[in-house]
Amino acid sequence: MVREAVASDGWSALERPLERALGKRTAAALAKLELRTVGDLLSHAPFRLAHRGELMPLADVREGEAATVIARVTDSRMRPMNSRRGYILTVRVADGVNELDLTFFGKSPRTLDFHAKRLASGVVASFSGTVSSYRGGLQLTHPEYELVEDESDVAKIARPIPIYHATDRLPSWHIRKAVQSVLQALAPSDVPDPLPGEYLAAHRLPSKFEAMRALHCPEDDEEWRAARLRMAHEEAYVLQAALAQRSHRARERATAPFPLADGGLLAQFDAGLPYELTSGQREVSADIAADLAKTTPMRRLLQGDVGSGKTVVALRAMLQVLDGGGQAALLAPTEVLAYQHMRTIEALVGPLAPVELLTGSLTAAQRRRTLARVASGQAGLIVGTHALFSDDVAIPFLGLAVVDEQHRFGVDQRDALAGGGVHTLVMTATPIPRTIAMSVFGDLDVSVLRELPAGRAEVSTTVVPASKEAWVERVWERLGEEVRGGGRAYVVCPRIEDDDEGLPLASVADVSAELREKSALAGIGVGTMHGRMSSEEKAEAMERFASGRAPILVSTTVVEVGVDIPEATAMVILDADRFGLSQLHQLRGRIGRGTAPGVCLAVTSAEKGSLALRRLEAFASTTDGFALAELDLQLRSEGDVLGAAQAGRGSHLRFLSVAKDRKIIETARAAAREAVAADPELVDRRALAEAVAAIDAGRADYLERG
Ligand code: ADP
Ligand code: MG
C-alpha cells in the first residue's frame, strides 16, 4: 500500500498549503489560479515547451529570431514609461564585443525589483527570447534567463523551458520558479501513484513522481511527452475505475424483477400496434425484457438516430413493468417533449393504461391531484420533466426510469431519479462515438438502433451562403412550394429577438415579421415559438403548425429534440454555423418523418474554408448520425488544437483527449475494470481510491458542450 509521507508540520506533502510551502505573497497570487496546495500546483502543468535558440555570440543575433546568449550584465536602470503608466527596467548585457538591451515592463518598481536584484551589474546569465529591434538597436523583451554560477550550469541552459498558463500578475516564469521550489522538496514517497507498478512496466510509463519532474523540468521534449502520455493513462485509468465502481455498486443493489407476462398490457399493446417493429427494435426490446426480468438493476443506454423509433421500445419496457405491478416514469428534457410523449403514449396505449403528466407548469391543484395518483400507485405511467425530481414527488412502486435524450441531463440527475437502484434506460439520439461512450457512459450497457423504420423519406441538405441574395430568396420560394404541396416548414433562428449589442443574428421576431410580408409566402400562416412562451402558448403554436393553420413555424431550437410532425418536409436553419453539428442533426431530424422527401437548407455567413463552413459541409454530406458523430469528432479535435487554451479548462481531463486517445482509453479501461473486479472498494489501492474520489465521473463535459 502506498502511504504518503507526512511532513513534520502535519500536512502530507501534496496537501500542504502553498502558503506554508512558498510564503503568503506567492500563495496569494497562485490562489487566483485556484492553486492552493502543493498538489494543485504540481497539477498545473505547462501547456507547451519553449526552446531556447541556439547559444550564440551576441554578434550573430538577428531580429525576429529566437536566441540564447550568455552575457554579463553591465548596467541596469529603471524608469517610468513615457507614454503610459508603468515602469520599464532596461538591463544592458555584453559579451565583451557586442551589447544587447533587455527590457522588462511592470506596473510598479516593486514588480520589477525581482529582476533588478538578480540582474545586478557583473552577473553572468543566459538569456533567451525573440529578438526585436527598438530605435535602431536590438533587444530582448522579458527574456527567460538562468543565472550562470559555474560551468555545470551550462547543461541546464540547454533544457527546454516549460510555459504555463499565467495571469497578468503571475507570469509564467514566476509559476515556473514556484513549481521548481516545490518539486525540490518532494521525495518519491510523497507522490502516491494511482497506477500500479505492473501497468507502468507493461506500458513503459514513468512513475507519477518521475512524471511530475519531467512535466515541469524536462531534460528534453521526449521526456516531456512521455510524462504527458503517462498522465493521459492515469486520467483514463482513474475515470474508468470510477465508472467501473459506479457500475459495480449499482449492480450490487437488488431491485424488483419484472419478467414478461402473457396476456398483459404489453401483449395487448403489441396486438394493436399499427406497424411492424423493425428487427433492431425487436432485438433491443428482447435485451431490455431480459434485463427487466432480473433483480440486478438494468443500466442500459439506447442509442438510436433521430427517428429510429426509440419511443415504442421504451413504451414496451414501461408496459412490461406495469404488467409486473410496478410504475414506470419517462423523463423528457423539455415540456414540449414531455407533452408530446404523453400524447403519443396516450394514442398508442389508449384505454389500456392512464398516463400522468408531471411538469413545472401544472397548477397547484392539478399538481396535488397528480401527485396523489402517483403516490397511491394508481398511476402507472408517468411522463414528466425535471419536475419529477422535486422532493414532494413520491413514486413508491417505481420499477423503471426511462431518461429520454440523455445529453440534456447530467449523469447525476439520471441517478437522482433512479436512486441508482431501479431499472434505468437512458436514450439518446445523439450518436456517440465509441471512445466517448466509453468515457461518459462507461458504466452502462449499450444498445444501438441502426436502421430507420422502412418507408422513411430522404432528406437532402444544401448549404446556402447568406451573401447570395438570390439564393436566399429562392429559399423562401421553396418554402412556399413545400407548404402549398401540403407540407410544413420549420425556420430555425439562433435568437428570439434582436440583440443590439451582440452579432447581427437572425431572430424569431425579425424573421417571422419578414416572412409575413413576403409575396412568395402570401396567404400562408406564419407562427412562432421560443422558450420564453408559456407552455400553453407553445402547445397552441405546435397545434396551429401541426393542423396546417400556420404551416410555417419560425422558432428557436425548442423544436430541436424529439418533436414529431410527420407532415413537416422543410427546414430552413438561419445562421446555421451558430449551432453544433449534433444539434443541427437533431434539428434536421424533425423533417422527413413521413413519406414525403424532406429538404433542409442551412443558411450561413461562414467564410469559405473556415472550420464553421466545413462543419456545415459535413452536415450536408450525410444524414447518418453515426457517420456525422465521427466527422464531428475529427473536426472538433482540429478545433481543440486551435483553442487548446480554453479547451483544457473546466474539464478534469487535462492530458487525455476522449476524441483522439482511443487506444489509451481501451487499455486503461480493461486494466481498471480488472482492478475493480478484484477489489471493488479499492481497499488495497489507496492512491487509486483517492483519485477516484477526487473526480466526478459524470463531468466529462463532451456532451454538455455539444
Ligand atoms: P426517436 O427515436 O427519434 O425518438 P420516435 O420514437 O419518435 O423516434 O419514432 C419516430 C417515428 O417513427 C414515430 O412517428 C413512430 O411512430 C414511427 N415508428 C417507430 N417505429 C416504427 C416502425 N417499426 N415502423 C414504422 N414506423 C415506426
Ligand atoms: Mg424521441
CATH number at residue 420: 3.40.50.300
Which pLDDT does position 49 carry in this prediction?
82
Please report whether residue 300 resides in a domain.
no
CA atoms of 570 and 567, how far apart (whole Å): 9
**639, 665, 653, 648: which is closest to 699 by C-alpha?**
653
CA atoms of 356 and 377, how far apart (whole Å): 11
What secondary structure letter does DSSP report for 327? E
Task: Tell me the HSE value of 145 on the side-chain side, using a 13 A CA sphere.
Answer: 27
Pocket test for ligand 1, best of 269, 275, 305, 311 (most atoms within 8 A of CB): 311
Which pLDDT does position 649 carry in this prediction?
37
For 194, the 3-state DSSP assignment is: coil
CA atoms of 514 and 499, how far apart (whole Å): 17
Ligand 1 centroid to residue 49 C-alpha, Å: 53
For 634, the 3-state DSSP assignment is: helix
Which amino acid type is present at position 18?
L
Q: Is 592 in the pocket of ligand 1 (CB under 6 A)?
A: no
Ligand 2 centroid to residue 572 C-alpha, Å: 21
CA atoms of 667 and 199, how far apart (whole Å): 10
Which amino acid type is present at position 102?
L
List Cα–Cα distances, 703 to 99, 436, 607, 700, in angstroms: 56, 9, 26, 8
* Verdict on whether the full-model pTM lies above 0.75: no
Same-domain status, 378 and 473: no
Please determine, for residue 458, whether its predicted confidence score (pLDDT) is greater than 50. Answer: yes
387 Cβ neighbours under 8 A, 6+ residues apart: 358, 359, 360, 362, 393
List Cα–Cα distances, 585 to 99, 183, 462, 600, 700, in angstroms: 62, 49, 13, 10, 22
Cell digits of residue 364: 397547484
Task: Tell me the HSE value of 505 on the side-chain side, using a 13 A CA sphere.
Answer: 20
Which pLDDT does position 637 carry in this prediction?
60
Phi/psi at 97 (nearest 5 deg)?
A: -115, -50
Query: Where is pLDDT greater, at 630 or 193?
Result: 193
For 87, the 3-state DSSP assignment is: strand
Helical H segments across 32-171, by residue range: 38-43, 109-118, 153-157
CA atoms of 553 and 508, how far apart (whole Å): 9
Domain count, the chain: 4
633 within 8 A of 642, measured Cβ to Cβ: no
Please report whether residue 540 resides in a domain.
yes
CA atoms of 35 and 182, how far apart (whole Å): 13
Please determine, for residue 454, whether its predicted confidence score (pLDDT) is greater than 80. Answer: no
Please report whether residue 195 resides in a domain.
no
Please report whether residue 250 resides in a domain.
no
Buried b (16+ CB within 10 A) or exposed e, 650-678: ebebebbbbbbbeebbebbbebbbebbee
Same-domain status, 143 and 277: no
Same-domain status, 414 and 485: no
What CATH number is attached to the domain comprising 148? Answer: 2.40.50.140
Ligand 2 centroid to residue 431 C-alpha, Å: 13
Which pLDDT does position 393 carry in this prediction?
87
677 within 8 A of 240, measured Cβ to Cβ: no
Q: What mean pLDDT is predicted for residues 149-175?
A: 71
Q: pLDDT class for 461, splitting at 50, 70, 90?
A: very high
Same-domain status, 287 and 346: yes
**546, 548, 603: which is closest to 572 by C-alpha?**
603
Q: Is 405 left (phi over 0), alpha (psi -120 to 50) or beta?
A: left
Q: What mean pLDDT is predicted for residues 425-445?
A: 76
CA atoms of 637 and 660, how far apart (whole Å): 7
Q: Is 312 in the pocket of ligand 1 (CB under 6 A)?
A: yes
Q: Whose CA is nearest to atom 19 of ligand 1?
A: 309
Pocket test for ligand 1, best of 303, 308, 313, 560 (most atoms within 8 A of CB): 308
Phi/psi at 25 (nearest 5 deg)?
A: -65, -50
Sign of CA dihedral 119, 124, 129, 130: positive
Radius of gyration of the chain (CA): 31
Same-domain status, 363 and 424: yes
Please report whether residue 444 resides in a domain.
no
Pocket test for ligand 1, best of 281, 348, 383, 564 (most atoms within 8 A of CB): 564
Q: pLDDT class for 502, splitting at 50, 70, 90?
A: low
For 356, the 3-state DSSP assignment is: strand
Q: What mean pLDDT is predicted for residues 363-384?
A: 94
Tell me: the pLDDT tens digits for 105-124? Answer: 888 888 888 899 999 988 88
Please determine, for residue 415, whether its predicted confidence score (pLDDT) is greater than 60. Answer: no
- Taking the CA of residue 277 as reference, the ligand 1 atom at the shortest distance is 23
Which pLDDT does position 150 carry in this prediction?
62
Cell digits of residue 580: 453544433
CA atoms of 101 and 89, how far apart (whole Å): 10
End residue of a domain, out of 163, 188, 217: 163
Q: Is 278 in the pocket of ligand 1 (CB under 6 A)?
A: yes
Of 196-200, 206-210, 329-333, where does mean pLDDT reach its minimum? 329-333
Ligand 2 centroid to residue 286 C-alpha, Å: 19
389 within 8 A of 417, measured Cβ to Cβ: yes
Please determine, for residue 407, whether its predicted confidence score (pLDDT) is greater than 70. Answer: no
CA atoms of 593 and 407, how far apart (whole Å): 22
Same-domain status, 33 and 56: no
Pairing of strands 552-555, 526-529: parallel
Ligand 2 centroid to residue 429 C-alpha, Å: 7
Query: Where is pLDDT greater, at 631 or 9?
Result: 631
Please report whether residue 168 resides in a domain.
no
Cell digits of residue 619: 452536415
Please determine, for residue 210, whether its predicted confidence score (pLDDT) is greater than 70. Answer: yes
Most confident of 348-362, 406-420, 548-562: 348-362
E-assigned strand segments in 354-499? 355-358, 381-384, 398-403, 423-428, 445-449, 459-465, 488-492
Residue with cell string 409575396: 519
Same-domain status, 412 and 502: no
Q: Tell me which residue range forms the domain holding 99.
A: 48-163
The DSSP H or E segment spanning 130 is strand 124-134
Same-domain status, 65 and 95: yes
Residue with cell string 413545400: 482
Same-domain status, 487 and 607: yes
Q: Whose CA is nearest to atom 23 of ligand 1?
A: 277
CA atoms of 322 and 316, how far apart (whole Å): 10
Which pLDDT does position 592 carry in this prediction?
83
Residue with cell string 389500456: 352
Same-domain status, 16 and 105: no
CA angle 10, 14, 16 (to 5 degrees): 45
Q: Is 33 left (phi over 0), alpha (psi -120 to 50) or beta?
A: alpha
Residue 56 CB coordination number (10 Å): 15
Sheet holding 327-331, edge to edge: 355-358, 381-384, 327-331, 398-403, 423-428, 299-304, 445-449
Residue with cell string 531534460: 219
Which pLDDT does position 122 carry in this prediction?
85
End residue of a domain, out of 622, 652, 684: 622
- Taking the CA of residue 308 as reference, the ligand 1 atom at the shortest distance is 2
Which pLDDT does position 154 carry in this prediction?
58
Q: Is 704 left (phi over 0), alpha (psi -120 to 50) or beta?
A: alpha
Ligand 1 centroid to residue 215 C-alpha, Å: 52
Which pLDDT does position 60 carry in this prediction?
74
Which pLDDT does position 224 carry in this prediction?
95
Which amino acid type is present at position 700?
A
Which pLDDT does position 374 carry in this prediction?
94
Q: Is 698 in the pocket of ligand 1 (CB under 6 A)?
A: no
Angle between helices 172-184 and 208-216 (to 10 degrees): 150
List Cα–Cα distances, 347 to 355, 453, 557, 624, in angstroms: 10, 19, 26, 29
Ligand 2 centroid to residue 568 C-alpha, Å: 16
514 Cβ neighbours under 8 A, 6+ residues apart: none
637 within 8 A of 660, measured Cβ to Cβ: yes
Strand pairing partners for 398? 327
164 within 8 A of 176, measured Cβ to Cβ: yes
CA atoms of 405 and 303, how far apart (whole Å): 9
CA atoms of 522 and 142, how far apart (whole Å): 66
Please report whether residue 529 resides in a domain.
yes
CA atoms of 287 and 530, how far apart (whole Å): 38
Q: Is 275 in the pocket of ligand 1 (CB under 6 A)?
A: yes
Residue 473 CB coordination number (10 Å): 12
Please report whether residue 534 resides in a domain.
yes
End residue of a domain, out of 132, 163, 194: 163
Same-domain status, 474 and 409: no
Cell digits of residue 175: 509559476
Same-domain status, 587 and 475: yes
CA atoms of 460 and 472, how far apart (whole Å): 17
